[in-house]
Amino acid sequence: MRIHTLIPSRLGSTRLPGKALMDICGKPMIVRVWEQARKAGVGPVTVAGGDKAIVEAVEKAGGEAVLTDPDLPRGSDRIWRALQILIEKGAEKPDIVMNVQGDEPFFPPELIIEAVKAFDLGWPDIVTFCHETEDPAVVDSPDCVKAVTDAKGRALYFCRYPIPYRAKAVKHHIGFYAYRYEALERFVRTPPTALEIAEDLEQLRGLELGLAYYVGLTEHKARGVDTPGDLEKARRLAGG
């Protein structure tokens, strides 16, 4: 099974502009994400950068990066374009494409390993993860996406509001995806769908297309950096 991990990144963040290159104890954030993804030891890792400065920072650290159009709307579009550029240059077409968020400097590489194993089930088109929680700060926040699955882990729906109704615990979705190559191609070639637009959740496009999402339960949690407060927490954590 050929696997390629891509990390979409751009400087035009609305809540924390330029965060990809912000220093975290001597390293730009995007470099820390790239380093974490490489720890999985599963295939090549490439940053899909929407800005030349991101590409230069990764290459300076010894990594591989591809410059993509900064106006691409989503991370999935960015990794697809970067992948096509790499294939045009002679890279192998992968069977599985990992999409690691570019603002998670402590991304758990175990998620990549767990995703690879999940494809052994045979039926998933896309693998993603969640963890169960009763934390009201998660349950009640529209910024925390919840997943509903069947008994086999197949996604039935994703929502910003607490579901199912009156549940004591919810499945808090982690924004990491692993796609079969053909599933990613179908996904990015389809315009945003009605449910995706209504909830502002691109995974709903996949459900409307009939793609099978496996949502695995994991103990590993991602720590995204979205605000100045998150950045300070990341610096304290990185500093030991």
Could you tell me if 108 and 72 are in contact, meaning their C-beta atoms sit under 8 angstroms apart? Answer: no
**Digitized pLDDT (tens) for each residue of the chain, 240 residues in all:** 899 999 999 997 777 889 999 999 999 999 999 999 999 999 999 999 999 999 999 999 999 999 999 999 999 999 999 999 999 999 999 999 999 999 999 999 999 999 999 999 999 999 999 999 999 999 999 989 999 999 999 999 999 999 988 888 999 999 999 999 999 999 999 999 999 999 999 999 999 999 999 999 999 887 788 888 888 999 998 885
Residue with tokens 């896309």: 126
Q: How far is CA 115 from CA 60, 92, 167, in A?
A: 29, 20, 27
Is 97 in a helix, a strand, or coil?
A: strand
**pLDDT reported for residue 15:** 74
CA distance 173 to 65: 27
Q: What is the DSSP letter of 11?
A: S
CA 173 remoteness from chain centre:
11
**pLDDT reported for residue 8:** 97
Q: Which residue stretches of the chain are H helix?
A: 29-38, 52-60, 75-88, 110-118, 136-139, 181-188, 194-199, 203-209, 228-238
Nearest to 67 by CA among 44, 48, 91: 48
Task: Kindly report, residue by residue over 94-137, the tens digit of the pLDDT.
Answer: 999 999 999 999 999 999 999 999 999 999 999 999 999 999 99
Q: What is the pTM of this model?
A: 0.94
Close Cβ partners of 192 (under 8 Å, ≥ 6 residues apart)? 202, 205
Nearest to 174 by CA among 230, 233, 112: 112
Could you tell me if 70 and 62 are in contact, meaning their C-beta atoms sit under 8 angstroms apart? Answer: no
CA distance 77 to 146: 23
